[in-house]
Amino acid sequence: MTDAKVDGRLERGEHTRRLILERAVDIASTNGLEGLSIGRLSSELAVSKSGVFAHFGSKEELQLATLALARDVFIEHVITPALRARAGLTRLWELCEARLDYMAERVFPGGCFFSAAATEFDSRPGRVRDAIVASERDLLRFYEGIITVAIEQGELADDTDPALLAFELDALTRTAGTSSMLFDDSVSFTMARKAILGRLRSAATDPSALPKVPK
Amino acid sequence: MTDAKVDGRLERGEHTRRLILERAVDIASTNGLEGLSIGRLSSELAVSKSGVFAHFGSKEELQLATLALARDVFIEHVITPALRARAGLTRLWELCEARLDYMAERVFPGGCFFSAAATEFDSRPGRVRDAIVASERDLLRFYEGIITVAIEQGELADDTDPALLAFELDALTRTAGTSSMLFDDSVSFTMARKAILGRLRSAATDPSALPKVPK
DNA sequence: AAACAAACTGACCGTTCGTACTATCATCTA
DNA sequence: TAGATGATAGTACGAACGGTCAGTTTGTTT
């Protein structure tokens, strides 16, 4: 972001900041953003508590920074792969697949970071909540944009409601993630894939453009 | 449960226990089961901390008792109304409606208690998690049982997969709840209703038996 | 080598956490 | 009315919390 880099290498401060945040996302993914504590971070990283604290100035700022890193990771694992696919229905399906894979891969040890953060802060005002809301809204908008293109390209039926379809695909994917954590199995992913494919085929003008629904 | 009642009235101990737990579910619904603290409970209720503590013996036991009360409330607002409806497709639709209503009514100030608890504990072993898993499994089984009856009654297509349809309906409903909290609006419920009706009509042998999909 | 700023440490503050132990209180029975 | 029993209060504990601050280390610049 800033001029923190000096010929490709991170400054000292920026380096430990990264170390702290990488551990922070792991802790927060299992213990929640509120369960994330500066003391635990410092002891696990063998860094003084005040050293950790100095990087952020407040716990809220630490939470926001943690959220920002998690967002970067999400973009890298989900958004970017989708953008590599051909615009329209292909990209939509790739987005669903990439997000399911990202959840199955356990990129964060505690499951999808944003699903956890969203339910944790959905009834608690503040800047952290605002940031989460913005992220979730962006994600839904991203779905909707892709769906709109698919409609314009004639791949999805004219009467498809982009916001509604986005909601449905998001719900199925999101729930698959938490269910797989809760029940500690992967059948949720299989079901989500079936459900998503079924829904897309029912909205597609040419269902054969999509992978077959697995039995 | 036990002989705590004496001719219809609660014993002294059982009475304050209720008071404590009723406040506990409210706090936990917004702050999480881990964010629930004995100290806060005691100060808000003007009861000594040790007085609160004595009822449960440990925080974990308090969490389990809170969960049990939340479960009772859920059953009262969702399961019981569904059971009043005619078995089969009617009951299935009533279950979805009742659960959406229960979320829209904000029975708990922090949104659906179980959705929050599930994501909070989905990666944290212990008795609390076990209890949550059991509840969620019971709920899915309840869906599946109703779906199976609807198939047997010829209301849903023979090739309907009960577990898959249960997963889909649960996902749409659950996500509507957290989305409505997060975005602070009610369009999520409208979308969930549309999506659920659309899905049920596609699986129903006689779609006209279901309410019309609202525009 | 001196100077300087940024990074980091260690000790400490006040508060709250869960939990323990003992004493007091209310209620019912003998 | 005396005693027993269970419910609640009071106090204290060690640990962890977020946060402060003065001082030391480190790396760069001159």
Return the pLDDT at A3: 38
Please give, rounded to a whole number of angstroms, the shortest distance from the CA of A131 to a CA of chain B: 11
Return the pLDDT at A181: 97
Say yes or no: Cβ of B171 under 7 A from any atom of strand D.
no
Contacts of A181 in chain B (CB under 8 A): 122-123
Contact A116 B118 (CB under 8 A): no
Say yes or no: Cβ of B148 under 7 A from any atom of strand D.
no
Q: Which nucleotide is nearest to A9 (CA to C1')?
A: D27
Cβ atoms of residues A120 and B120 within 8 Å: yes
Residue B195: pLDDT over 80: yes
DSSP of chain B = --S-EETTEEPHHHHHHHHHHHHHHHHHHHHHHHH--HHHHHHHHT--HHHHHHHHSSHHHHHHHHHHHHHHHHIIIIIHHHHHSPTTHHHHHHHHHHHHHHHHTTSSTTS-HHHHHHHHHTT--SHHHHHHHHHHHHHHHHHHHHHHHHHHTTSB-TT--HHHHHHHHHHHHHHHHHHHHHHTSSHHHHHHHHHHHHHHHHHBS-GGGSPPPP-
Return the pLDDT at A167: 98
- Gap between the Cα atoms of A136 and A134, Å rounded: 6
Return the pLDDT at B10: 55
B35 touches chain A (CB under 8 A): yes
Instruction: Indicate the SS3 state at residue A135.
Output: helix
**Residue bearing tokens 């952290």:** A128
Return the pLDDT at B55: 95
Among residues A172, A168, A163, the alpha carbon closest in space to that of A144 is found at A163
pLDDT in tens, B9-18: 456 778 899 9
Return the pLDDT at A162: 98
Return the pLDDT at A86: 98
Residue B212: pLDDT over 90: no
Contacts of B27 in chain A (CB under 8 A): none
Return the pLDDT at B214: 66
- Average pLDDT score over chain A: 94
Cβ atoms of residues B122 and A182 within 8 Å: yes
Return the pLDDT at A123: 95
Instruction: Indicate the SS3 state at residue A148.
Output: helix
Average pLDDT, integer, range B67-88? 98
Q: In order along chain A (215 residues), what is the average pLDDT of each group of 10 residues?
A: 43 87 97 97 95 96 98 98 98 98 96 94 97 98 98 98 98 98 97 98 95 72
Return the pLDDT at A8: 44
Return the pLDDT at B102: 98
B9 φ, ψ (degrees, to nearest 5): -100, 150
Q: Which of A32, A122, A199 shows the shortest C-beta gap to B178?
A: A122
Residue B1: pLDDT over 50: no
pTM for the model stands at: 0.94
Residue B21: pLDDT over 90: yes
Q: How far is the CA of B15 from the C1' of D8 (A)?
A: 13
Instruction: Indicate the SS3 state at residue A9.
Output: strand
Query: Which chain A residue has the Cα nearest residue B132?
Result: A182
Confidence of residue B7 (pLDDT cuts 50, 70, 90): very low
Query: Which chain B residue has the Cα nearest residue A133?
Result: B182
Return the pLDDT at A2: 38
Contact B116 A119 (CB under 8 A): yes
Return the pLDDT at B6: 36
